[in-house]
Structure 1
Amino acid sequence: MEAMVTTQDRMDHPGERPGGGPIRLLAIRETPLSLDEVFAAVGDRSAGGTALFVGTVRDHDGGAGVEGLGYSSHPTVEAELRRVAEKVVADFPVRALAAVHRVGDLAVGDLAVVVAVACPHRAEAFAACRRLIDDLKHDVPIWKHQTFSDGTEEWVGA
C-alpha cells in the first residue's frame, strides 16, 4: 500500500495550513516510518501542546522471545483509520492530527506505528493522542503475525 496523505477543505483554526483541516496525515505504509514526518505534519502555531506516540517492535511478548513480525491489513484499513481520526477530531479541540501505521515484515526495533496530536493545551493533546492510538489499535483492521525465537508463531488481533 502507498501512503494516503489527506487534508480537509476548510480552515477552522488560526495557524492551520491554507485549505487544510486538522487531519494532516493518514497513511498505511510498507516502508519505514519517520518521526520527523509525523511531527512536522502536526506543527501548528495555535497549538500549545503536541503529544506523539511511537509503537516499536519489541523483542518479547508474553515471556517469549520475538524474532520479528508481520502486519497485514483489510482493504478497508484506510477508511477505518480516517473514521477513527475524525472521531478524535470531533471529541477534542484538535488543531492537527497525524497517524501512520506500517504493514509488511518488521524486525525488532522497527517503528510499527506513529501518531501525533496537537491541541491548544498539553492535557488535551495527551488525552487526544491516547484516544487516537487506543482506538486505532482496537478498531482499525490491522493484524500482527509474530514469530518467536523458539520457532512458534502467533496471530494477534485476527
Structure 2
Amino acid sequence: MGNAVLDRILAPGFIEHVEAMGKIVAHELHQLMQKFPNYITEVRGKGLIAGIRITPPVRDFVARLRNHKLLTVAASDNVLRLLPPLIVNEDEIREAIGIIAEAFAEFDAEQASRRAIAQRQAPFRFFRTADYDCETFSRSQGFFLRATAFHSRFCP
C-alpha cells in the first residue's frame, strides 16, 4: 500500500495537479468571501490547505456543514479549516464550495428571520424619565411608553 501511495505522488504531473487545484480552491473561496462579506472576514492558506475566518460560531457552522455531508474542522475559535485530499478534482472542489455557500445562505436566512421576529416583538421602548408629552405608565424602575406618534418621532 505504501508503494502505491508513493507511485501516485511521484507520478508525472501530480504536484502540478495539486498546485492547480489549490489555486482553484483559493479563487473559489475569495469568490465566496465576496458573496458573504458579513460572515467571511478572511481567507488564507497554502495549496489545498485553506482557512476561512468566519463570524458565525465555527463549531455550529462545522455541524451545519456536517449535516450537508461536508466534513470540515474548526482550526480555532473563528477559523474553519478545509483540507481536501490531494487527489481532489475541480468538480469536487466546486461541489464543496457550493455546499459552504448553501450553508451560509441558510445561516443568513435564519439571521434575517430572527431580526424580523425581534422587530415584531419589540414595538415599545423603555425610558427612564417622564419628561415626555405622551401617555406613560409607571413601572418598577422606569416608564413604559406606548407606541404613538411621539414614539415614531423619538425612538429609532
Normalised to the residue count of structure 2, the TM-score between the two structures is 0.28
Tell which structure's C-alpha radius of gyration is larger: 2
Which structure has the highest strand share of the two? 1
Taking structure 1 as the reference length, what is the TM-score of the superposition? 0.28
Higher helix fraction: Structure 1 or Structure 2?
Answer: 2
